[in-house]
Amino acid sequence: MLTWFCPNCWESIPEDGSRCPSCGYRLSEYASLSYDEKLLLGLSHRIRENRLAAVSILGERRVERALPIFEHLLENDPDVYVVREIVRALYRFQSEYATRLRVKATGHRAKMVRQAARAALHYDDGQNLEGRAEARQ
Ligand SMILES: [Zn+2]
């Protein structure tokens, strides 16, 4: 049997309900959201696989609105697998903001995140991004 989750609070909900019994979210509102907005909500999904998928697709689509959320998760998400996926997604973006976040991730407490960030920086080939960030501070 499929389990349905409220896209607002991620409690399980009955398939046919119009409002979430836990938080009152109007489930019909969800249907009217854009694909990108649904992906952004997916970043707080309680199931890791779904969070990973949301991060990855937001990266593929280069959704700039995801970057402030990525920044927050880089600093606060205890799930290092999600944080590593964010670092990988970041190098799809061309903006200065994304670059700054990638440089910041090279100082992350988790080794696998730092490694992913360094690999991503390497990918830029030739550009000394770490040096530029230091010069700006
Ligand atoms: Zn809810």
User: What confidence tens digit (pLDDT) does each residue in 52-99 have?
Assistant: 999 999 999 999 999 999 999 999 999 999 999 999 999 999 999 999
In this prediction the pTM is 0.79
Q: Which range marks the domain in which residue 102 is found?
A: 48-136
Considering the domain boundaries, does residue 119 fall inside one?
Answer: yes
Residue whose pair of structure tokens reads 């854009």 in the numeric block: 34
Distance of CA 59 to the CA centre of its chain: 8
Whole-number Å distance, alpha carbon 82 to ligand 1 midpoint, is 23
**Could you tell me if residue 6 is inside a domain?**
no
Does residue 70 belong to any structural domain of this protein?
A: yes
What is the CA(54)–ligand 1 centre distance, in A?
19
Q: Do 99 and 91 touch, CB atoms closer than 8 A? A: no
Give the confidence band of 134 by pLDDT, cuts at 50, 70, 90. very low
Domain annotation covers residue 32: no
Distance 70 CA to ligand 1 centre (A): 23
| Whole-angstrom distance, CA of residue 20 vs CA of residue 4 | 11
What's the CA-to-centroid distance between 83 and ligand 1, angstroms? 25
Note whether residue 131 is domain-resident. yes
In a domain, 7, yes or no: no
The CATH number for 52's domain is 1.25.10
- 44 CA distance to ligand 1 middle (Å): 12
The CA 17 to ligand 1 mean position distance, Å, reads 11
Total tally of structural domains belonging to the chain: 1
Give one DSSP letter per residue of 82-93, joined into a string.
HHHHHHHHHTT-
Q: Distance, CA 33 to ligand 1 centroid (Å)?
A: 16
Q: How confident is the model at residue 17 (pLDDT cuts 50, 70, 90)?
A: confident
Pick from 61, 47, 136: nearest CA to 99: 136
Q: Ligand 1 centre and the CA of 47: distance in Å?
A: 15
Give whole-number Cα distances, 137 to 12, 80, 130, in Å: 46, 26, 11
